[in-house]
Amino acid sequence: MFKEYLKLNRYVRIRWILFVGGMFFMVGSILTSGISLSTIVPLIDRIFSHKKILFPENLPSFLKNILEPLKSFLNNAPPILLLKYLIFFIITVVLLKNLFFYIQNILLRIFGERILTDLREKIYSKIVLSSVDFLSKKRTGELTTRIIYDVGVLRRAITDGFPKFFFKLSEAIVYLSIVVIIDWKMAILSFMIFPILLYPIFRITKKLRKLRENVQKEYGNLGNTINETIYGHKIIKAYNQEKVILEKFKRENENIFRTIVSILKRTIAIPPFTEIIATIGASGIIYYGATKIIEGEITPGFFALFLTGLFSLISPLKTIGSSYTEIKQASSALPRIFSILEEESKVKDEGKKVLSEFRDRIEFVNVSFSYGEREILKNISFTVKKGEKIGIVGPTGVGKTTLIGLLLRFYDPTEGEIRIDGENIKNFTLHSLREKIGLVTQEPILFCDTVNRNICFGENEDKEKIEKVAKICGISDFIESLPEKYETIIGERGFNLSGGQKQLITVARAIYKNPPILILDEATSSLDSNSERMLQLAIEKAMEGRTVFIIAHRLSTLRNVDKIIVLKEGSIVEEGTHSQLIDKKGLYYNLWKLQHQST
């Protein structure tokens, strides 16, 4: 289990100096705690009983020799003077103990929080920098759960569980040392309770880990349901599915409740069970020790110190048990976190060249792509010259968006290659490649930020340029009508805007980037006729001299493009201009005729 936590060192920098410092002050705090207990002996034997301090018969000889001068001083000092010394000593030791305890906690908490902060950033970086195929395999709720819930589970273990575990373990060692030094025979008797105490705890924690894994999966399912509900709320309402989705949420929520109750029953049972066993064992020790006092083998002061050390063990043992349980439970989150961090991206940024300029052409050379065992694209070959506008059409699911995703290196071809100016795009850095390409997707992607920042996304903010781009796209009037104009927060996913307004902002974003290559992936599908005309005007004005790939369902938008590529079952079946393809009376003609008749 502890090896799993140490594995975190592979992914985040662990500040061991904070840990070592915390452990140093922890030792100081525990030693001062043990020393403060030793004042019980002179208090009882000298001050309260007015008797001489006598060493227990079982005390090791080397300790007797070390402590003999101290014993002589305590036995010869007047009780009232000794009381004053002891009070001053106790106050000093308690002050030191709490100072050490404070510093220890600060260092260890910072140590833990730094690990978790870096781990959250590492997971988020992994998600952001991963290839599209990685994200397409994961549900939104699952990834959100990894960052928020699973790291939150680790937080309780690393910032609270581990410090408590090590502190109480060290404390228990000190108290056990006191008990063993005073009378090892009584100590052996006390040790007999430990196997009985620990075995049930280990059994419970093993079951708890499995339950914790289940609850983490259930939280992932619940998070996914919440995301789907918020994202698809209009469809849910339109299809009167509120009761169905509520039942689904209730079912998943109840599953979490039942699992958590099972966890609580076991977790809450550990401290009282530990205390009961410890109390029964301690009662036997008291009886045994009392007979030794009667027989004169040990003084009341040393026996009181023995009992204090023994009873002081109860709290550390309870905490050790509960902390171990907490650490064990939290460790179940580690494999899920590591599964994200260890997932290898299929698209590797290993190119060394910088694509500083697009000069001549883009070539798809015998490109094939498979998603798992399913073949999406087969032996695709075509060339696009700089400045050309290319239309890509075909039935739904034929691989149009995947084809364009290969140019952006969202995926890599399983066979063949894509070249820009004769160079395989894998030889370019991902940043320099994508810097030359603008993308407008079918679904408008906007962020919960200002209009300004959504338009200049990833680029330096130039207000004059933003306003110019907005005018080109015909959205300046509606932006000016917003409460804060260009500084208006448009809400998550552009919630406050119409579909046409959202899409036009994404087009403005692509124009603002001013790339030599532009991809429009069904960009007009969510626009009304008026917005579509505005978009066409924006493209005609702003895209001159640029290379444009247009994936379109509405074939009327492709009349003026330089070339149209028609896909069927992952292969190119036709290629040519709109007029040429109409004359061929093939698949494109049939699609055109179908749309024309429906119109």
Domain limits, the chain: 2-221+260-341, 361-598
pLDDT at position 527, please? 60
b (16+ CB within 10 A) / e for 116-146: bebbbebbeebbeebbbbbeeeebebbbbbb
Homologous superfamily (CATH) of 361-598 is P-loop containing nucleotide triphosphate hydrolases (3.40.50.300)
Alpha carbons 310 and 293: distance in angstroms, whole number: 17
pLDDT at position 532, please? 67
CB atoms within 10 A of CB 280: 11
pLDDT at position 143, please? 75
pLDDT at position 172, please? 84
Given the structure tokens 């040790």, which residue do they identify? 191
Which of these, 146, 143, 124, 123, lies nearest to 135 by C-alpha position? Answer: 143
Q: Reduced to 3 states, what is the DSSP secondary structure of residue 282?
A: helix
CA neighbours closer than 13 Å in the CB half-sphere of residue 416? 21
Homologous superfamily (CATH) of 2-221+260-341 is ABC transporter type 1, transmembrane domain (1.20.1560.10)
pLDDT at position 531, please? 63
pLDDT at position 418, please? 93
CB atoms within 10 A of CB 102: 12
Task: Return the sign of the alpha-carbon dihedral for residues 304, 305, 310, 313.
Answer: positive
Question: In this structure, what token pair is assigned to residue 432?
Answer: 């320099």
pLDDT at position 363, please? 92
Low-confidence ranges of the chain (pLDDT < 70): 1-2, 41-43, 45-46, 55-59, 136-142, 190-191, 193-198, 231, 233-234, 237-240, 277-278, 281-282, 491-496, 523-532, 534-535, 538-539, 541-542, 597-599
In total, the chain counts a number of residues equal to 599
128-131-136 Cα angle (round to 5): 95
Given the structure tokens 């959504």, which residue do they identify? 454
Q: Reduced to 3 states, what is the DSSP secondary structure of residue 343?
A: coil
Q: Which residues, other chains included, contact 418 with Cβ-Cβ below 8 Å and sequence gap of 6+?
A: 362, 363, 364, 365, 367, 406, 407, 424, 425
Question: Which pTM does this prediction carry?
Answer: 0.69
Alpha carbons 405 and 425: distance in angstroms, whole number: 13
Pairing of strands 547-551, 389-393: parallel
pLDDT at position 464, please? 85
